[in-house]
Homo-oligomer: A and B are copies of this chain.
Amino acid sequence: MVETPRRQQIEDAASTLFRERGYAATSVRDIAQALNLQGGSLYAHMASKEDVLWSIVNRAADRFNTEVAPLAAATQPPSRLRAMIRAHVSVVTSAQKDASVFLDEWRFLSAERRAQIAARRDAYEALFRNAIADGIQVGVFDAVDVRITATAILSALNGIASWYRAGGPLSADEIADSYAELFLKALREPHFMTRTIT
């Protein structure tokens, strides 16, 4: 029986509280209380409250990259975007607390750390922009504005983090499939043998 390291327990408890109340409205004593500790005791395991936020934000960013980047590199245009959407939704729903903190609380990081996350986010979004652009070039997607389309897709996918509830009417997979279908239709992935007649 391996116990969860204290540091990880702190990050998990903080992730829950940061998501529920927001980073600024969560005190170090709130986190300590969730672990039945005194406020000052946490500083044996962390340098500052912001440090814990930084860890949570990074492990969320790592997770998105780990799940999505291989698909972006390996799969071919038509099904590539579908696979990436599904994987992104999978992270949002399976690591929901971290994902929410990553999306909503990263602005409370220091300027330098914020800049690092902004750069990582842009690189990640570029995976989606490329999937769309490649699909257009190959002729399976309409010639849409790549940047704004990628932004629209990711905004919708990220929004799931704020309303998804495990055990709700739709499973995570059903949500992922619905969103993937919706956006692939938006890109007019052509059906077999569809022609336009005057």
What residues on B are CB-neighbors of A188 within 8 Å?
A: 185
Nearest chain-B residue to A20 (Cβ)?
A: B107
* CA distance in complex: A142, B96 (Å): 30
User: In the assembly, what is the distance between CA of A155 and CA of B158, in Å?
Assistant: 8
Q: How many copies does the complex hold?
A: 2
Which of B22, B148, B196 lies in contact with A24, CB distance below 8 A?
A: B22
- Secondary structure at chain A's binding surface: helix, strand, loop or mixed? helix
Chain A interface (Cβ within 8 Å of chain B)? 21-22, 24-25, 104, 107-108, 142, 144-145, 148-149, 151-156, 158-160, 163, 170, 175, 178-179, 182-183, 185-188, 191-198
Complex partner residue of A152 from B151, B179, B194, B198, CB under 8 angstroms: B179
A198→B163 CA distance, assembly (Å): 40
CB-CB nearest in chain B for A25: B24
Q: Is the CB of A159 within 8 A of B148?
A: no
Residues of B within 8 A of A144 (CB): 178, 182
CA distance A107 to B175 in the complex (A): 25
**A159-B151, A193-B196, A193-B198 as given contacts; A22 in contact with B182, CB under 8 Å:** no
User: Do A159 and B155 form a contact, CB below 8 Å, given A185-B142, A185-B186, A197-B193?
Assistant: yes
